[in-house]
Amino acid sequence: MTLADERLRELDNPTLNEDERALLRSQVAADLIHKGQYEAARESLGDLWRGVGQRPHLEGLGESVSAEVLLQAGVLSGWLGKVKGAQDAAKDLIGESAALFERLGESNRAAAARAELALCYWREGAYSEARVMLEQAAASIRNDASLKAKTVLRFAMVETYAGRYSDAFHLLRDYAPLFDEGVSHTLRGSFHNELARVLRRLGTAERRQDYFDRAIIEYTAAVYHAEQAQHESYLARIENNLAFLLYKLGRYRDAHEHLDRAQTTPCTVNASASNAEASPCSNVFTARCSRKR
C-alpha cells in the first residue's frame, strides 16, 4: 500500500466533515502530481473531479477548501490536457483559485496558484505572460523555501525556452542554495536537470567543452534525485536528455546505455511539457544511436 493509499484511508473516518474530506483528497492529489503520478492524482480526487478542464464539484465546501480543489483540478487539467483549449480551461480554474486565496489573505497559496498559471502559459509559448505570473508569485511568497525554489526554477525554465540562456544560468547559479536538503528530491532533481540543459545550450553557443562536461555532471545528479523521488517519468526524461547530450558529443556507447534506461520507464503524459531534448520514445533518436553503437 502506498502512502497516498494510506492517507486516503483516512476518508473512512466518520468524524470528518465534507471540507476535511475534500481537503484531504486535494492534498493527496497535490503530492501525486508533484511525483508525476497524474492518473493516480485524478483517482484520488474522487467525485470532486469532473474531467479535464471541467469545474470540480464544490457544492457545500468552504471558500478556502474550494480554492484548493480548484487549484488541483486546474493543475491536473494542465498536465492531462492535450486538446485545443485545455490550457485555457486549466488557467480559468487556477485563476479562480488564486483570486479566492488572495481574497482570503492566503498569500502563499495564491503565489502557488500563480506559479501554476505560469506553467500553463509556458506550455503555450506565452513567455511574457508566464514571467508576469511568476513575478506576482515571487512578490507574495512568505517563508516558504519550497515554493520559492519552485518559482525560481520555473523562471529559469521560461528563460531557457525563450532563448535567454545566460539569464537562466545566472538565475540558477544565484539561487542554487535554495535547492538544498530542505526541499524535495523532485525539486532538487529538476534544478540539476534545468541547469544541465542551460549548460548544454551555452556550451553549443559558446563552443565550451567545459560546459558540456559540467552538464553531464548535473544530469547525473538529476538522475540520482529523480530515483530518490521515485518519479519514473521524470527519470526517463533526464536519462533521455543525458543520452541526447552524449550522442551529440560522439559518445555513442554511453548514449545508448542511458537511452536504454530511459526506455525502461514509461513515457510521460503531455510530452510537449516534458523538458526533454528528444523524446525517449523517438524512433529516429533510437535508430541513430543503434547505428553508432
pLDDT at 270: 47
DSSP conformation letters of the chain? --HHHHHHGGGG-TT--HHHHHHHHHHHHHHHHHTT-HHHHHHHTGGG--STTPPP--TT--HHHHHHHHHHHHHHHHHH--STTHHHHHHHHHHHHHHHHHHTT-HHHHHHHHHHHHHHHHHTT-HHHHHHHHHHHHHH--S-HHHHHHHHHHHHHHHHHTT-HHHHHHHHHHTGGGSSTTS-HHHHHHHHHHHHHHHHHHHHHHT-HHHHHHHHHHHHHHHHHHHHHT-HHHHHHHHHHHHHHHHHTT-HHHHHHHHHHHTTSPPPSSGGGS--SS-TT-HHHHHHHHHH-
| pLDDT reading at 261 higher than 90 | no
- What percentage of the chain exceeds 90 in pLDDT? 77
Looking at the predicted structure, is the pLDDT value of residue 79 above 90? Answer: yes
Whether residue 6 is contained in a domain is answered as yes
pLDDT at 183: 92
Q: Is 241 domain-assigned?
A: no
Comparing 114 with 82, which gets the higher pLDDT? Answer: 114
For residue 148 the three cell numbers come to 520559492
Q: How confident is the model at residue 3 (pLDDT cuts 50, 70, 90)?
A: low
Average pLDDT on 209-213 reads 96
Q: Is the pLDDT of residue 268 over 60?
A: no
Q: Which of 46-55, 110-119, 226-235, 270-279 has the lowest mean pLDDT?
A: 270-279
Q: Is residue 43 part of a domain?
A: yes
pLDDT higher than threshold 60 for residue 108? yes
Query: Is 188 inside a domain boundary?
Result: no
**Structural domains in the chain (count):** 1
**In this structure, is residue 190 part of a structural domain?**
no
191 located within any domain:
no
Residue 218: pLDDT band (50, 70, 90) is very high
Q: What is the mean pLDDT of residues 15-35?
A: 94
Enclosing domain of residue 93: 1-143
Predicted pLDDT of residue 280? 43
pLDDT of residue 272: 42
Query: Max alpha carbon distance in the chain (Å)?
Result: 64
pLDDT of residue 2: 65
Mean pLDDT for 218-237 is 92
Q: What is the CATH number of the domain that holds 27?
A: 1.25.40
Residue 275 belongs to a domain: no
Statement: residue 284 has pLDDT above 50: no
User: Is residue 49 domain-resident?
Assistant: yes
